[in-house]
């Protein structure tokens, strides 16, 4: 029923525990498409050098699904389905946040030196974005 945007809610934003291979020389975590993320990975991008106090995001996506992974440091993801809003703290590199389509998000409270990797289900397409909250909310909940 993923084709029906109104059915998606903040409950569909899931924390995903990723595998860790522990070793005295350091830990290793890996992510396999359609195994640890429920979609084929089409794109990877990352956020770094984020200044203190920055707020990123401020949009939702019509079709895009993502896994957001805090590789270093921590930040908050505020997720919003048009009727409910929830704050999720990401602070472990072995726990990513799965974001389905049609969820408004804001990323904030970045710690110094934080580094965020995002695995995305589609290539970049500005037409996939809702950048206006009211337009998103109308599409999501009417
Ligand atoms: P945006 O998705 O708004 O970033 P964030 O949610 O982290 O604040 O993208 C910021 C800018 O970067 C915007 O002009 C689009 C561009 N961009 C690309 O060209 N390719 C990409 O893969 C991404 C994610 C963004």
pTM: 0.95
Report the residue among 45, 64, 90 best suited for mutation to probe ligand 1: largest number of ligand atoms under 8 A from its CB: 45
Report the distance separating Cα 57 and Cα 47, nearest Å: 11
Structure confidence at residue 3 (pLDDT) = 46
pLDDT confidence band for 31 (50 / 70 / 90): very high
Q: Which atom of ligand 1 lies at the shortest distance from residue 123's CA?
A: 22
Contact 59, 131 (CB under 8 A): yes
Structure confidence at residue 4 (pLDDT) = 47
Average pLDDT over residues 17-45: 97
- Alpha carbon of 49 to ligand 1 centroid (Å): 15
Q: Whose CA is nearest to atom 25 of ligand 1?
A: 124
Q: What is the pLDDT of residues 51-105, one digit of tens each?
A: 989 999 999 999 999 999 999 999 999 999 999 999 999 999 999 999 999 999 9
Structure confidence at residue 2 (pLDDT) = 46
The pocket around ligand 1, CB under 6 angstroms, is made up of 43, 45, 47, 56-57, 59, 124
Report the distance separating Cα 80 and Cα 75, nearest Å: 16
Strand ranges (E), the chain:
14-17, 20-21, 28-29, 43-47, 56-61, 66-72, 75-80, 85-90, 95-99, 104-108, 115-120, 129-130
Structure confidence at residue 128 (pLDDT) = 98
Q: Tokens for 89, please give them.
A: 């703290």
- Alpha carbon of 56 to ligand 1 centroid (Å): 9
Q: Is 59 a catalytic residue?
A: yes
CA distance from start to end of the chain: 18
Report the distance separating Cα 14 and Cα 67, nearest Å: 9
Residue 40, pLDDT > 60, answer yes
């Amino acid at each position: 029923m993923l084709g029906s945007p109104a059915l998606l809610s903040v409950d569909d934003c899931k924390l995903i525990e990723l595998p860790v291979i522990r070793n005295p020389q350091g830990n290793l975590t890996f992510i396999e498409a359609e195994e640890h993320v429920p979609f084929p990975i089409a794109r990877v991008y990352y956020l770094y050098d984020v200044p203190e106090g920055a707020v990123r995001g401020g949009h939702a996506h019509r079709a895009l699904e993502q896994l957001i992974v805090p590789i270093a440091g921590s930040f908050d993801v505020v997720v919003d389905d048009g009727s409910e809003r929830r704050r999720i703290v990401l602070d472990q590199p072995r726990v990513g946040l799965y974001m389905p389509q049609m969820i408004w998000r804001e990323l904030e409270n970045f710690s110094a030196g934080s580094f965020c990797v995002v695995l995305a289900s589609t290539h970049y397409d500005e037409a996939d974005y809702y950048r206006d909250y009211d337009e998103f909310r109308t599409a999501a909940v009417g």
